[in-house]
Amino acid sequence: MDGIKILCITGWCRNGSTIIGNVLNEIPGFFHVGELHFLWKNGAGRGVNNLCGCGQALTECPIWSEILPLGRPAGLSPEEYADLVIRRQRACVRTRHTWRVLGRGLDGKALSDHAALMTRTYHAAAERTGSRVIVDTTKIPGEAALLPYLEGVTPYYVHLVRDPRAVAHSWRQPKEYVYAMSSWMSTAYWHGFNLAARAITRRYPRRSLFLRYEDFAADPQGTIDALLRLCGEESAGNPIRDRTVDLHTNHTVTGNPDRFRTGATVIRDRDDSWKGSLTLPARLAAVTLSTPLFHRYGYRYSGTLTTGSRNAEARQR
Ligand SMILES: [Zn+2]
């Protein structure tokens, strides 16, 4: 088995990982799998959407339709196999399992079986797409912690954080197949997932990078250069010029619904749309529940107590 690199983006959801993954997907030799954790669930119609980034059902996509059946025991239907994989994921790679995986490695049959499935899947994806670097934006820290135990794989970690107010704002708006969540709930998860992601990057500091989404938005080209350096790749492949990237069809297993967008795409500089519409209680929940990480990551209270124009208009009515 030839070695492959996995560029793993971890942290809490709605942190901008899908667009970063899709930018990297434009680099020759890179393949963005989206959120691979959900391949089996979505492939069997158990998840919130069953479409690949190419627009076809995962079971029809030329890449995933070939990979989904790998390792399925004889006699099990695709649905029964998906249920088996989901049971194992819940038993051993949830966020709460991160520290156990970091400390004990492949401890137990469920984890060993899951590691074997992930090893087979990453190698099959690399082989079928001719890739040397797989970008996985699953984010779930339990899955990320497992990567160093997979055969023939070298993981690199990006701990991606986004302002919890912007994340809460994103979660309050249901979008296509993604549901809504309160600011309290979103920020509680933000805290837990970021603590777990931090535990991983502390364990593997030389192949990890901490990144704020806001810093990517401020300098997208420079940030992609830094990610390429992290995994020992040449910056010549960086597809961003003047904040713009030309996106082609991808084969992502779920992610932000924007993943279906192709063509010239401009990376926006500012990420403060929450200021216009996130309510004051929701902003306070976000900054309170994310403390002390909020400050440690360099975020500031400014704007939290300033009422947005849309709220002001609503009150006047
Ligand atoms: Zn596809």
Domain assignments of the chain as residue spans, ordered by start: 4-273
Q: How many A from CA of 63 to the centre of ligand 1?
A: 6
pLDDT at 17 over 50: yes
CA of 59 to the centre of ligand 1 (A): 9
132-180 pLDDT, tens digit per residue, is 999 999 999 999 999 999 999 999 999 999 999 999 999 887 777 777 8
What percentage of the chain carries pLDDT values higher than 90?
Answer: 84
pLDDT tens profile 183-235: 999 999 999 999 999 999 999 999 999 999 999 999 999 999 999 999 999 99
Identify the CATH number of the domain defined by range 4-273: 3.40.50
* Ligand 1 mean position, distance from CA 178 (Å): 19
Neighbours of 280 (CB within 10 A): 13
Ranking 17-26, 69-78, 117-126, 307-316 by mean pLDDT, the lowest is 307-316
pLDDT band of residue 307 (cuts 50, 70, 90) is low
pLDDT band at residue 1 using 50, 70 and 90 as cut-offs: very low
Written in H, E and C, the secondary structure of the chain is CCCEEEEEEECCCCCCHHHHHHHHCCCCCEEEEECHHHHHHHHCCCCCCCEECCCCECCCCCCHHHHCCCCCCCCCCHHHHHHHHHHHHHHHCCHHHHHHHHHHCCCCHHHHHHHHHHHHHHHHHHHHHCCCEEEEEEECHHHHHHHHHCCCEEEEEEEEECCHHHHHHHHCCCECCECCCCHHHHHHHHHHHHHHHHHHHHHCHHHEEEEEHHHHHHCHHHHHHHHHHHCCCCHHHCCCECCEEEECCCCCECCCHHHHCCEEEECCCCCCCHHHHCCHHHHHHHHHHCCCHHHHCCCCCCCCCCCCHHHHHHHHC
224 Cα–ligand 1 center, Å: 24
Q: How far is the CA of 311 from the centre of ligand 1 (A)?
A: 41
pTM: 0.94
Distance (Å, whole) CA 78 – CA 110: 19
Task: Kindly tell me if the per-residue pLDDT of 181 is higher than 70.
Answer: yes
118 CA distance to ligand 1 middle (Å): 19
**Rounded average pLDDT over 259-286:** 91
Distance 306 CA to ligand 1 centre (A): 44
Q: List residues, by chain if needed, whose CB lies under 5 Å from ion ligand 1.
A: 52, 54, 61, 251
Sign of CA dihedral 121, 125, 128, 133: negative
Which band of pLDDT confidence, cut at 50, 70 and 90, is reported for residue 310? very low
How far apart are the CA of 23 and the centre of ligand 1, in A?
Answer: 17
How does pLDDT run across 50-65, given as a tens digit for each residue? Answer: 999 999 999 999 999 9
**64 alpha carbon – ligand 1 mean position (Å):** 7
Tell how far the Cα of 62 is from the centroid of ligand 1, in angstroms: 6
287 C-alpha to ligand 1 centroid (Å): 39
